[in-house]
């Protein structure tokens, strides 16, 4: 925007200068250089205005893309949350065990979970062991892998292919 204003000021000043000099009797031929500068300034205004308009359109497209990607990510996360809840239901986890499992999936350690829940680390460990026992998994890594494996498959690959070892 600054460049458009700058070219505008140059064009106005050149127009004033040429007008004053022509009224003073300076031949138009001697003013040709200043007229070229005036025309170039007008061209600069046009080019920069066009680029500014293009840039605004590009920003609008990026904003719309970002909004769409954000919504898609929210939809995916919501779907993942529903899938995790369904699996927790299948395993028969208690509300406390669900919370422990979710916090472990988020990467928190037992001590961090205990501090967050205002309980002992021993209680968290016992509840985590209960999650592993009910789920048939062998620990935190298996818990994370259980939910992440399908997300990490190459496009077009189903979990059936992974399970069969193909």
Q: Tens digit of pLDDT for each residue in 52-95? A: 899 999 999 999 999 999 998 888 878 888 889 999 999 999 99
Scanning the structure block, which residue is given the tokens 């007229």? 35
Residue 28 has pLDDT above 80, yes or no: no
pTM of the prediction?
0.53
Confidence of residue 24 (pLDDT cuts 50, 70, 90): confident
- CA dist 48 and 57 (Å) reads 14
- CA dist 111 and 123 (Å) reads 10
What percent of the chain shows pLDDT beyond 90?
48
Confidence of residue 149 (pLDDT cuts 50, 70, 90): confident
Q: What mean pLDDT is reported for the chain? A: 86
The whole-angstrom distance between residue 155's C-alpha and the CA centroid of its chain comes to 22
């Amino acid at each position: 925007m600054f460049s458009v204003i700058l070219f505008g000021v140059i064009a106005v000043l050149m127009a004033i200068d040429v007008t004053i000099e022509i009224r003073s009797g300076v031949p138009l031929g001697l003013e040709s250089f200043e007229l070229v500068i005036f025309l170039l300034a007008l061209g600069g205004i046009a080019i920069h205005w066009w680029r500014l308009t293009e840039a605004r359109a590009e920003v609008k497209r990026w904003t719309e893309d970002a909004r769409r990607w954000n919504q898609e990510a929210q939809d995916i996360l919501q779907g993942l949350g529903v899938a995790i809840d369904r699996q927790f239901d299948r395993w028969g986890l208690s509300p406390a065990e669900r919370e422990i499992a979710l916090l472990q999936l988020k990467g928190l350690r037992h001590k961090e979970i205990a501090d967050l829940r205002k309980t002992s680390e021993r209680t968290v460990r016992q509840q985590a062991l209960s999650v592993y026992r009910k789920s048939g998994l062998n620990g935190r890594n298996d818990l994370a892998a259980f939910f992440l494996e399908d997300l990490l498959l190459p496009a077009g690959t189903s979990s059936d292919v992974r399970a069969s070892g193909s």
